[in-house]
Amino acid sequence: MSGAADTPLRLGIAGLGTVGGGVVRMVQTHGELLAARSGRPMQITAVSARDKNRDRGLDLGAFTWYDDPVDLARSDEIDVLVELIGGDDGPAKLAVEAAIANGKDVVTANKALIAHHGTALAGAAEAKGVALNYEAAVAGGIPIVKAMREGLAGNSFSRVYGILNGTCNYILSAMRDSGRDFSDVLDEAQALGYAEADPAFDVDGVDAAHKLAILTSLAFGCPVNLDAVHIEGIRQVSAVDIEFATELGYRIKLLAIARLTDNGVEQRVHPCMVAEGTSIAHVDGVFNAVVAEGDFVDRVVFEGRGAGEGPTASAVLGDLVDIGRNIRLPAFSVPAAALQTLQPAPMDSHVGPYYVRLSVLDRPGVIADISAILRDEHISIGSMLQRGRNPGEAVTVVLITHENEEAAMSRAMALIGGLEAVLEEPKIIRIEAL
């Protein structure tokens, strides 16, 4: 859908929460700047939200109000649907589908929608000749989608990874700084507004998995496959683990990692120990970071705020400026029909070193029994730490292994956990070489 330089790009905003309000404010604040950069004025003409009477601190009187976002999506008053409702189904999906069917460009911040339905929506948008832009769905204000789709388009990617959830990064950073455990810091994060009342989506790794599934498609030209992502959260990371990590020269981060291997495409979200000397180890608080590795560019690192009104609205406006310039690209770098299905690499085939923490009775033969199990699974110990020397009582033993296969580690940990002298389920954290 093209437009003359003096013809406004008419926006319909569905969802007036934190991000929707930010988009309204940004358009009102930077109207002249946006017109200059996109080549035509941007004009909000219509909005939709659940509660018309809620005080949002915005003057919405000049906009047509729609109770149903699907009606907004079909309206002749708009050229672009800006979908900021959220959720992988329901009104958000129906509104986006309606907009595409009616020849409207779409800009969304909805990572769940793109992670679940992105491939199908991309095909529908291409068939209609409209844009499906979603910069704000991944890493907030970091322009990683545009960078991978355009600036790095000449590269073949081997790996993309990062810190994609600010809530988890804040909690792990605060645990390290204060020595407190997960539950205490989670309460603080909720009080500060960094974590939701129900934090499961963030702390259990689901939010990061949605974003990783999208980045994987961008990097490797494959359909979005959320089901192939291995997901672990941070609930099991303890202050003790963070203390040992520091002593060993590591920091613990929840990483989302996609890479090509001989066994297929790995997609995994889980806590990792990363060396203190790596740049990503020092991305703290609510900040996000994304690292893309390409054959010609080598390694490119992006860091910034991954959520919030301003950063996310900034990403939305970047997508809108592209539409104002009549730039419409395939959603996942190549046309939807050209996306190639790639074999998912099973998590059991992952190879790397591991941190293992055990609580054992301090008595003769215990370490020998543990070592025998590791030997039988061909797992080599790189180093060992023991805390305390209380014969007959519980002590903590930490092992760092050399590289080995995940399947072998799983078998070994099951056997070690079954030993009479091992008092708790073994705790393992993968060590990631970056």
Task: Point out the residues that are catalytic.
Answer: 211
Rounded Cα distance between 307 and 320, Å, is: 18
Q: Are 80 and 320 in contact (CB under 8 A)?
A: yes
Length of the chain counted residue by residue? 434
109 contacts 84 by C-beta, under 8 angstroms: yes
Question: Mapped to the 3 state alphabet, what secondary structure does 302-349 carry?
Answer: EEEECCCHHHHHHHHHHHHHHHHCCCCCCCECECHHHCCCCCECCHHH
Where do we find the tokens 């996310």? 312
In a 13 Å sphere around the CA of 99, the CA atoms on its Cβ side amount to 34
* Both tokens assigned to 369: 């029994």
- Separation between Cα atoms, residue 78 and residue 315, nearest integer Å: 20
Sequence-distant (6+) residues with CB within 8 A of 105 are 1, 79, 80, 81, 99, 130, 131, 133, 323, 328
Contact yes or no for 249/222 (Cβ under 8 A): no
DSSP category for residue 147: I
What span, in angstroms and rounded, lies between the C-alpha atoms of 173 and 192? 15
Closest by CA to 9, choosing from 70, 78, 104, 64, is 78
